[in-house]
Amino acid sequence: MSQDLESLPKELLDNINNFDQSLTKCENTLEQMLKHSLPEITENLEPLEQAKLNMSIAYTINSLYFMYLKTQGIDPKNHPVKKELERVKLYIKKIKDITELQKSGLSSQNSSSQPISKEQKGNKKGTNEKKRKKKKKK
């Protein structure tokens, strides 16, 4: 078997070694986490820390699936897992932004001055339309 590996291009061998190292790290981390239940792990964490942990778990699971698809010859870039990874990355960025705000001394109460997202605008618009319809009925 080692002779087969030696015949492979160096770049491919490097990729295989990097993949193996990443997989080993992932296995070690998961092994530690699987020794305890999720409620045991999160019971002493602050809500923001719980969110970080949940997003780390989601990212890890989706990354593993992404790698699995690659090993099966399936292009993960055209698979729904790619969108899920992007969605999780978005939440990780939001958590990072909140963490930075907290570190800079701004409280979460000041978050009301943050711009309203499109989703929030849509919800607010729907609420205003409902109020207008109620007024028209009266």
- Residue-wise pLDDT tens digits, 29-72: 888 888 888 899 899 999 999 999 999 999 989 998 998 998 89
- pTM, to two decimals: 0.61
Each residue's pLDDT tens digit, 95-136:
999 999 999 886 545 554 455 455 444 444 444 445 555 555
Q: Map residue 117 onto helix, strand or coil.
A: coil
Residues 83 and 130: their CA atoms lie apart, in Å, by 33
Question: Among candidates 114, 57, 65, 119, which has minimal Cα distance to 88?
Answer: 57
25: its two tokens: 């790290």
> What would the mean pLDDT of 5-9 be, rounded to a whole number?
80
